[in-house]
Structure 1
Amino acid sequence: MIRKIKSKLSVKVFLITSMLMVACCSVTYLCIAHFAPYIYSHDLAEVEELADMLSEELSHIPKEEVQYFIQGYNDILTKQYDDEFAFHLFQNSGNEIALSDLNEFTGNKIDDYKSTDTTREYEISFADSTEAYILLLAKNTNKESQVVLALQKTLPILSVAILLVSVIAAFFYTWYMTKPIKKISKLSKQMADMDFSGLCPTNRTDEIGVLSHSLNDLSKKLAAALSELQEANQKLQADIDMERRLEKQRVEFFAAASHELKTPITIIKGQLQGMLYQVGRYKDRETYLAQSLEITDTLGKMVQELLTISRLDTPGYTCKKSNLNLSNFIIDRITVFEDLFMQKDLTVEQSISPEIYILGDMQLLQKALDNLLGNAAAYSGAGNQILIKLWKETETTTLTIENTGAHIPDEAISKLFEPFYRVDQSRNRQTGGTGLGLYIVKTILDLHGAKIEITNTIQGVIVSVQF
C-alpha cells in the first residue's frame, strides 16, 4: 500500500489535499468555538428589581460612596447571575462614567448600548449633588453566545460534512492537477520508446502549459534529429556500399590488368625463346622481332594507361581547372588527327560554335578527346564520315562525335565504360586496343562533372558529352 502511494502522484495529491482540507476546517471550527460569545442563562427581567433598588438607594448616598455601592451590586450580579449583567452610569450628556473613578470616562456613549438588551434608563441624583445622572443595567457583552453550544451539538454532523467536502474537493483538485501531468508522463514514455508522434495539449498558460509546449518542442526537435540521424546512417550505409563496390571494382580491375599484362608478356616470352633456340618458324627473327616490338609498344601503352588510371583514382585527387576555350581546343585536336583521318580515308565534317569556354584541366581533356577521336577513326571503315559538333544552350555545353559505318551491339553499350571491356571479344589488337580508353574518358569527365553517352544512330555510332 505504501509503495503504491509512493509510486502514484494522484494518490499523494489526493491524500495531502484531503488532510489539508480537514486541518483547515478543524482550525476554523476551533477558532469559532473559542471566540464565539457565551450562552445567556438568565433573563433580564430577573435583575430589573436590583436596578430599581439601586436607583432608589443611590439618591440617599453621597457621590464619593457611589462607586463602592455600585461595585457591591455588580458583585451580586457576578455571583448570582454568572456575570451576565452589569450596571453602567452615565452623565446626563450620555457619556459613560468609569465606576472605578467617577471623575473619569470610559469613552463609551449611552447610545452604544441600544443594540444590547437593557433595562429602562433610571434618572438619578446623589445626596450631596443636584447634577442628574442616568443608571442602566445591560447584558454583559463580554460573555459568549449560543454559538458555542450550537457548534458542540453540530460537531458530529459537521465532522462528516467536513470529511465529505474535503474528499470531494481533493478528488476534483487531484483530477485537475494530475490529468495534464499524466498526459505529459505518457508522452515522455513514448519519447523514451523513440515514438515522437504524440503531442501534449497546450490550451493552458500556466507552468504546466509551458511544460507542455517545451515537451512538444523537444519532441519535434528529437524527431528531426532522429530523422537526420537516420538519413546520415543511410548515407553512411550508402557510402559503405559504394566503398565495397569500389573495392570490388579495384579487385576486378587488378585481376583484369594482371590478365591483360600476362598475355602480351607470355607472347613476347614465347617468341624470344623460339628465336633464341631457332625453333621452326621462329628462325625468321626479323619478322618476330618486329612483332615483339609491336606487342611491347602495346604493353607500354597499357602500362601508361594503368598509371593514368591509378593517378586519377587516387583518393583526394583534384584536377587543375582553368578557363579553357573549348572551341579552339577541339579545332586544334582535330587538326592533329588530320593525317590519321586521311590515312583511313575518312571525311571530317565539323560544326563548332565559336568562343565557348568551360572550366577544365586541359591535359586531361586532351587525353579524353584524343581517345574519342582515335576510337572514331579506328572503328570507321574507309569512305565513311566523322561528324563533330559543339554548341551551347543556356547552361549546358554539348559535344557530339559521330562516326558513320559503325554499329555497337545493344547489349554491349552499357559495358563500354568498364575497364578492359572490348566489343571484339577475341581481343584482337588490330580492332580492340587495350580496353581502357573509354574507362579513362569516363573517369576524366566525371572529374569535370560532365556526362557522356554512347548510342547507335541510323548512320553509325554517336558519342555525346555534356558539360
Structure 2
Amino acid sequence: MKKYIKEHLAVKIFILTAVLLFAVSGFIYGMVAFGVSKSYLAELDESLDESTKNLITQLTQVSESEMETMLKMYALEYGLSITLKDKNGKDLKSFGQIEYKLDPDTDSEKSQISKGITKTYFIQRKSGPDYQILLFGTKQRANAALNSLNRILPVLIGISIFISLVIALFYSRYVTNPILKLSKVSKRLSALDFQIRCPENRSDEIGVLGENLNQLSEKLEEALGELKEKNLLLQEDILHEKEMEQQQLAFFSAVSHELKTPVTVLKGQIQGMLYGIGGYKDRDKYLKRSYEVVDSMDGMIREILSVARIKSSGFVLNRVRVSLNKMVQGVIRNLEDIAIDKGIQIHTALLEHAEVMADEAQFEKVLSNVIGNAVKYTPDNGNIWIEIFREDGKLVISVENEADKIPEEEIPRLFDAFYRRDRSRNRKTGGSGLGLYIVKMIIELHGFCCQFHNTENGVEIKITCT
C-alpha cells in the first residue's frame, strides 16, 4: 500500500486534501462550539449594559417595593440573576432564574462568577438609602446550543467526511490530470515516439511546460531524422569504401596474375637463349618474341599507371568545350591504316556542332579505346557504324560493329578489369583487359553513362553525354 501511494501522485494529493479537509472541519466545529458561548456572553454583556443603565435611572425614583418588583421582572425578562446589596456590599435579596437563599456566610459573587457575566451597578436614590446590584449572565443558553451540536455531531462528521472525500477526489483529479498527461507524453518521448503532442488549451505554467515539450519533441524529431539521414549516408560511404577496397584488392590480384604470366614466359625465353636449349638457339626469333612480350607488358603497365592516376584522390578533370565531331574524325584517321589492312568499311553519320564539356585528353582516350576495339574485333571486310545524334536533348555517341553477339550474362562483366571473353586471344587480340575498365572510369568521372548491347548486325556501345 505504501509503495502504491508513493508511486501515484493522484493518491498522495487525494489523501493530503482529505486530511486537510478533515482538520479544517474539526477546527471549524471547535470554533463554533467555543464561539457560541463567547459570542452569547459578549452579546449579553453589550445589551445588558445599556438596558441596565436605563433600569438604574428608573430605580432612583421609585419606592423600595417597586424597586424589588422591577428587579424581579427585569431578571426574568433577560434570564439573569440579580443580587441586591446595600451600599456596604451586604447581600439583601436575589432575583431571577437562579434563585437561592443566601446563607449568612455565602458570597454571592463567588457562587455566580463561573456562570457567565458579572457586573455591579450603584443606585443612588433621591430619597432613602443607596443600594448596589450585582448582575449575573448565565451560560445556560450557550450550553443548550452546545448540547444540540453534540447531539448532531455524528451526522456532521459523516457529512464532513463525505464532502471532504468528494472534494479531495475532484481536486486531486483536477490537479493531477494535466500532470499525468505530461507524464504520458514524456514517456512516449523517452521511447523515441515524437508524434505525440501535449494539448495546447492551457495558458498557465503547465500549458507552458506542455508547449516546451512539444517544441522539444519537434526538435528531437528533426535531430533524429538528420541523424538517420547521416547514418544512412555513413552506411553508404562505408559500403562504398568496402566496395572500393574489394575492387582494389581484386585489381591488384588481377594485376599480379596478369604480370606473372608474361614475366614467366620472358624468363623462360631468356633462360633458353642463354643456355642454347633446342629451338632457343635461334636467338633472333626468340628475341623478337621476347620484345613482343616486353612491349605487351609495357602497354599493360602504362594502362595500370593510368588507372592508378585516375583513382588517385588528387586527380581532377580539366573540362573544356570539346567538339565531338572533330574528335571522332581524328580517332578514325589514327585507326584508318589498320581498318584498310583488314578491309573494314567505317560508316559515319556525325551531327555538326556537337559539343560537350569534357577533359579532352581523357575523353579522346575513351573514343580511341571504343573505336579501336570495334576495329580490332570486327572480322576482315566487315563494317563499323559511328553516329553522333541527339536523344531526349542529350548527345549520344554510338559505335556499332559487325561481330559475334555476346551472351547477355557476360555483358555486365565486359567493363571489369582484365576480363576477356576468350582467354586464348589474350595479348594478341584480347589486349591488356583494362581498356573498357578505363573507359567506364572516365565516363563515370564525367557524369556520363555507357551502355553495351547486342544488335542485328553485331554489338553496339552507346555513350550518352549529359
Task: Pick the TM interval, shorter chain.
Answer: 0.7 to 0.9
2:350 and 2:168 map into 1 onto residues whose CA distance is 91
Match of 1:433, SS?
Answer: coil
Partner of residue 463, structure 1: 461
What is the total number of aligned residue pairs between the two structures? 395
Q: Corresponding residue for 1:310?
A: 308
Aligned residues of 2:396 and 2:463 also touching (Cα < 8 A): yes
What's the Cα RMSD here? 3.8
Q: What is the match of residue 18 of structure 2?
A: 18
Deviation at 1:4, TM superposition (A): 4.1
- Residue pairs, 1:399-414, within 5 angstroms: 399-414=397-412
The aligned residue for residue 347 of structure 2 is 349
CA contact (8 A) 2:323 2:355 kept: yes
**Alignment partner, residue 181 of structure 2:** 183
**Offset, 1:445:** 0.7
**Aligned pairs for 1:323-334 within 5 A:** 323-334=321-332
More deviation, 427-436/184-193: 184-193
- Written as runs of structure 1 = structure 2, the 5 A alignment for 1:281-296 is 281-296=279-294
For the 8 Å contact 1:38–1:147, the answer to whether it is kept is: no
Normalising by the residue count of structure 2, what TM-score does the alignment of the two structures yield? 0.73
1:363-386 per-position Cα deviation (integer Å, ceiling 9, x unaligned): 111111111111011011122222
- Map 1:169-180 → 2, pairs under 5 A: 169-180=167-178
Indicate the residue corresponding to 1:454 in structure 2. Answer: 452
> Within 2, Cα distance between the matches of 1:240 and 1:53?
114
Work out the CA distance in 2 between the residues paired with 1:226 and 1:303.
Answer: 49
Quote how far apart the aligned CAs of 1:144 are: 8.7
Partner residue in 2 for 1:7:
7
Alignment-mate amino acid for residue 226 of structure 1: L
Which residue of 2 is the match for residue 102 of structure 1? none
1:40 to 1:300, Cα distance in 2 relative to 1, 3 A: closer
Q: Deviations over 1:295-349 (max 9, x none)?
A: 1111000000000111112235332222333333333323333233223322222
Aligned AA (2:170): F
Distance 1:41 1:343 in 2: 142
**Counterpart Cα distance in 2 of 1:446 and 1:237:** 22
Query: Which of 317, 335, 338 lines up with 1:337 in the alignment?
Result: 335
How far off its partner does 1:30 sit?
Answer: 5.4
Q: Partners of 1:236 and 1:309 in 2: how far apart? A: 26
SS in 1 for 2:157: helix
Opposite residue 10 of structure 1, the aligned amino acid is A
- Counterpart contact for 2:426–2:432, Cα < 8 Å: no
**SS across alignment from 1:301:** helix
Amino acid at match of 2:417: P
Partner of 1:64: none
Q: TM-score, normalised by structure 1?
A: 0.73
Deviates further, 299-308 or 250-259? 250-259
Residue deviations 1:380-420 (CA, integer Å, cap 9, x gap): 11222221112234552211111124432333212101100
Choose 281-290 or 431-440, whichever is displaced more: 281-290
Q: Where does structure 1 lack aligned partners over 5 or more consecutive residues? A: 43-48, 62-68, 85-126, 128-138
Q: Following superposition of structure 1 onto structure 2, how do residues 49-88 of structure 1 map, counting pairs within 5 Å?
A: 81-82=79-80
Deviations 1:63-106 (A, max 9, x none): xxxxxx9xx98xx879985599xxxxxxxxxxxxxxxxxxxxxx
Secondary structure at 1:166 match in 2: helix
Counterpart-to-counterpart distance in 2, 1:417 and 1:252: 14
The residue identity in structure 1 corresponding to 2:273 is M
Q: Does the Cα contact within 8 Å between 1:38 and 1:145 map onto a contact in 2? A: no
Query: Percent identity of the aligned residues?
Result: 37
Higher helix share: 2
Matched, 1:38 2:40: yes
Query: Per-residue CA shift, 1:176-227, capped at 9, x if unaligned?
Result: 2223323332343333334445554555554434434443443454344334
What pairs up with 1:264-279 in 2 under 5 angstroms? 264-279=262-277
The answer as to whether partners of 1:18 and 1:166 remain within 8 angstroms in 2 is yes
Cα gap change, 1:204 to 1:145, in 2 (>3 Å): farther
Provide the rounded CA distance (Å) in 1 between the counterparts of 2:377 and 2:75. 145
Distance 1:33 1:198 in 2: 55
Change (3 A) 1:23 1:392: farther
Which residue does the alignment assign to 1:114? none
Cα distance, 1:80–1:21 mapped onto 2, change above 3 Å? closer
- How far apart in 1 are the matches of 2:192 and 2:268? 70
Single out whichever of 51-60 and 264-273 deviates more from structure 2. Answer: 51-60
